[in-house]
Structure 1
Amino acid sequence: MKPCLKLEEMEEIRPVKGVLSVNLPLILKWIEVIMQSLRGSFAEIDLEALQSNLSKIIQFCGTPGFVCPMIKANAYGHGDLQVGRALQDQGLQHLGVALVEEALDLRAAGITDPNILTFSTIGPQSVKSIIDASITPVVSSLVDLELLKDAVPVSSKLPVHLKIDTGMHRMGLPIDQLERAVEFFNGQTRLTLEGLCTHLSDAEDIGNLEGESFKQLNLFRRAWDFVQSLNPKFAHAYNSSGALGLHAHKHLEEWSAFTGFGIRPGIGMYGAVPESDSTLTQSQIESLNLVGAMTLTSVIGHIHTIESGESVSYGSKWTAQRDSVVATIPLGYADGIHRVSSGKGFVTHKELRAQQVGTVCMDYFIIDITDWPVSKQKVGLPITIFGGRPGACSASEWAGWGNTISYEVFTSVSSRVPRKYLPRS
């Protein structure tokens, strides 16, 4: 369970009988003003952009029969409860998370309509929670199937999805155990096979008929054919790269028409195309027009005028080659600004752009604003680190500067950074 409530969730708190009633909206506004005055750093989450991104992906993929948006890891840092509610409002029938705990948080927050799939391992300590909260487990072993069967009441049925290891070798039932799995389902009545799934290790190569993805898909199709006597409803293997790539290549149409074709959009829904993705052309990416749902913002917290030859931050890694004006931004690696990106990243203020200089600190990083108009060299000026605003850097750009991927950029934005949700009710 999460250790504390997010600011937006406090709106759901109601006064206990006998306790003095308070004006919660006014208090929340007061808290927000204080938070802004203290640091002024936020992650703005545009829920409408997120919903729109998902709709574009679904349309691009030809409206597949199974859509399971992934909101694990706090919805990739965007806020799983808020994103979950937005997707429930959008009418999604399935949501995917990694941990049983994540699914329980969603149920406790009133997200009751969608089926919630958990893709983690299953232990004896979690089976009762899975059953009580009507969670759909994605099972990777015969041992887990037995655990679940023994916990389900005799008169009840629990739908499960069976994950097949087709080459990722991380999770999933080895394909040579599939016959035993079918025998298991035929020999009991408490578990029903609702779906079959796998995970592609190299989804970015899905356009290559000789690539690893097609080796995996061929194995998966054999597995799908083998379990037809159990009447599964869904088959799903495609993340954002796999789903978009499958529909970007005309010679793959027979695969997209594969019965039960399903997608599990993740990073694309949040507005980013995977950095290693070679399945889409630039024109296809532009036509999709995915918009970053998270905008990381801050303000100039302090300004220094330094002379040529002076250095900034730990280790004196950057030395001014001229008299310079540098500004301190109150975000650091404890907030998700990776230290490895020191001296590489850029931030923006409208049309203005400034390079990050010196070593990123735990709570701060520094930018060079020497060439900015004097009127813009002031404490409190809003700064955009990355996001959906015109002219802003993207999370993918920051990923490149940090030698990582946009997934890590999003999930690294820590709980120290308050989330502001747009539109606000």
Structure 2
Amino acid sequence: MARPLIADIDLDALRHNYCLARDLAPHSRAIAVLKADAYGHGLVPCARALAGVAPALAGVAPALAVACIEEAETLRAAGIETPIMLLEGFFEPAELERIEALELWTAVHTAWQVDALLAYRPARPLTVWVKVDSGMHRLGFPPAQLAAQWARLAAAGDRVRDLHLMSHFATADSLDPGYFQCQLGMLNALASELGAPTCLANSPATLAWPEAHGAWNRPGVMLYGSDPLESANEASRGLAPVMTLRSEIIALRDLEAGEPVGYGGRWRASRPSRIAVVACGYGDGYDRHAEDGTPVLVDGQRCRIAGKVSMDMLTVDVTDIPEARIGSEVVLWGQASNGALLSVDEVARHCTTISYTLLTGVLPRVPRRYHGG
């Protein structure tokens, strides 16, 4: 029998989450973010599922966004014809020829990229997204430099078309709106000055800040069913989990009170206990920092990790689930066969991390099994 660990990917849930993002912003078009192998869910299967979404509200099928040209090339090679944006633009001028050939949209965020773009002579003008640093202090032109760079691009109609303004919010997920509102006020002023269509709203802004919805939004982690908000709202509670990381119990151990489990003996039985060994470990991408008490579902019932995660296995206290047996279903996050749910966000908190690292960290040796879409 094959090792039972698998990542089940529900493409209908992906489409549901995309439609939720679209419905929250009916006057915006959506750019679905598929970077990092669609956050670990599979770049091409997710792109194909989204390309088929009925465009009743937005008028068009979604555009897609990736981090680099290699990801875009993978999509084009798979026959994906949907518009694709390079969120970080190009990393060297030589990429512009490939960008043109693949009909990609590109961001620009620094002066050398503008110089390279204006020195290039495409057969048809390129669609360009100008990134401004409104307070994230990562990529983007300082606000004081934006108008000059925008004017250079706007004057080059034989090389550039459809200029858009984009930025990134640092705190749209926070309960404290102060810094977000500062960023948004700056961006609205810049957009008004330039007469620019905007692409500003990431997942938390799409879910919680309709005033940030522009001509385009770019939902990311919310597409995969993870709630990026510090405190869930009505919209985020409607998200459906896309990945279920599922395995089975492969062994059971009965311990006396006081006996340790795992490396370093971090967990010790406080009573006579039954420990289940599960086929999943950090060699599969499950976070080694998971603390004792991290929740899992065994046959749809909540129980907790006991002891440090090993490379290929982890151990769970099933003392209170007497019916647990070898072969019992174990859900590390996602939806159990009986419908019970375990949020990847809850698991991430027990690992002192965020859902992004868990989802993107599931390694290639874990088979993906696709449903729906």
Determine if the TM-score, normalized by the shorter chain, exceeds 0.5: yes
1:399 Cα shift?
Answer: 0.8
Tell me if the contact between 1:395 and 1:406 (Cα under 8 Å) persists in the aligned partners. yes
Q: What is the identity, as a one-letter code, of the residue corresponding to 1:130? A: I
1:350 Cα shift?
Answer: 3.5
Secondary structure (helix, strand or coil) at the match of 1:268 reads helix
What's 2:290 paired with? Answer: 341
1:214 to 181, 185, 189: 181
2:80 to 104, 111, 132: 111
Unaligned runs of 5+ in 1: 1-36
Larger CA Rg, structure 1 vs 2: 1
Alpha-carbon deviations, 1:55-112, whole Å to 9, x = none?
1222123x13221111111111111110001111115231111111111111111111
What's 1:43 paired with? Answer: 7
1:235/1:307 CA distance change after superposition, 3 Å: same
1:207 Cα shift?
Answer: 7.3
Tell me if the contact between 1:207 and 1:245 (Cα under 8 Å) persists in the aligned partners. no
What CA distance in whole angstroms lies between the structure 2 residues aligned with 1:179 and 1:295?
Answer: 46
1:242 Cα shift?
Answer: 0.8
What's 2:194 paired with? Answer: 227
1:164 Cα shift?
Answer: 0.9
Q: What is the identity, as a one-letter code, of the residue corresponding to 1:82? A: P
Secondary structure (helix, strand or coil) at the match of 2:73 reads helix
Percent identical among aligned pairs is 31
Secondary structure (helix, strand or coil) at the match of 1:367 reads strand
What's 1:265 paired with? Answer: 219
1:263 Cα shift?
Answer: 1.2
1:324 Cα shift?
Answer: 2.3
Alpha-carbon deviations, 1:234-274, whole Å to 9, x = none?
31111111122113xxxx5xx65xxx442111121111211
1:386 to 319, 323, 333: 333
1:133 Cα shift?
Answer: 1.0
Tell me if the contact between 2:252 and 2:325 (Cα under 8 Å) persists in the aligned partners. yes
Tell me if the contact between 1:66 and 1:261 (Cα under 8 Å) persists in the aligned partners. yes
Tell me if the contact between 2:76 and 2:102 (Cα under 8 Å) persists in the aligned partners. yes
What's 2:58 paired with? Answer: none
Tell me if the contact between 2:288 and 2:309 (Cα under 8 Å) persists in the aligned partners. yes
Within-5 A mapping of 1:264-413: 264-276=218-230, 278=231, 281=233, 283-286=234-237, 289-373=238-322, 376-389=323-336, 390-413=339-362
What's 1:144 paired with? Answer: 113
TM-score of the superposition, structure 2-length normalised? 0.91
1:53 Cα shift?
Answer: 1.4
Q: What is the identity, as a one-letter code, of the residue corresponding to 1:96? A: A
Q: What is the identity, as a one-letter code, of the residue corresponding to 1:70? A: V
1:115 Cα shift?
Answer: 1.0
What's 1:73 paired with? Answer: 36
1:323 Cα shift?
Answer: 2.7
What CA distance in whole angstroms lies between the structure 2 residues aligned with 1:423 and 1:66?
Answer: 24
1:330 Cα shift?
Answer: 1.2
Tell me if the contact between 2:14 and 2:223 (Cα under 8 Å) persists in the aligned partners. yes
Tell me if the contact between 2:33 and 2:220 (Cα under 8 Å) persists in the aligned partners. yes
Alpha-carbon deviations, 1:20-69, whole Å to 9, x = none?
xxxxxxxxxxxxxxxxx2311011000001101111222123x1322111
1:298 Cα shift?
Answer: 0.3
What CA distance in whole angstroms lies between the structure 1 residues aligned with 2:270 and 2:224?
Answer: 39
Q: What is the identity, as a one-letter code, of the residue corresponding to 1:227? A: L
1:166 to 129, 134, 143: 134
Tell me if the contact between 2:171 and 2:180 (Cα under 8 Å) persists in the aligned partners. yes
What's 1:96 paired with? Answer: 65
1:331 Cα shift?
Answer: 0.8
Deviating 4+ runs (over 6 angstroms) = none
Tell me if the contact between 2:293 and 2:306 (Cα under 8 Å) persists in the aligned partners. yes
Q: What is the identity, as a one-letter code, of the residue corresponding to 1:140? A: H
Tell me if the contact between 1:344 and 1:355 (Cα under 8 Å) persists in the aligned partners. yes
1:378 Cα shift?
Answer: 2.3
What CA distance in whole angstroms lies between the structure 2 residues aligned with 1:207 and 1:370?
Answer: 42
Tell me if the contact between 1:199 and 1:237 (Cα under 8 Å) persists in the aligned partners. yes
1:148 Cα shift?
Answer: 2.5
Unaligned runs of 5+ in 2: 56-60
Q: What is the identity, as a one-letter code, of the residue corresponding to 1:384? A: V
Residues paired across the two proteins, number: 363
1:183 to 136, 151, 154: 151
TM-score of the superposition, structure 1-length normalised? 0.80
Does residue 1:246 correspond to 2:214, yes or no? Answer: no
CA RMSD of aligned residues (A): 2.0
What CA distance in whole angstroms lies between the structure 1 residues aligned with 2:79 and 2:110?
Answer: 31
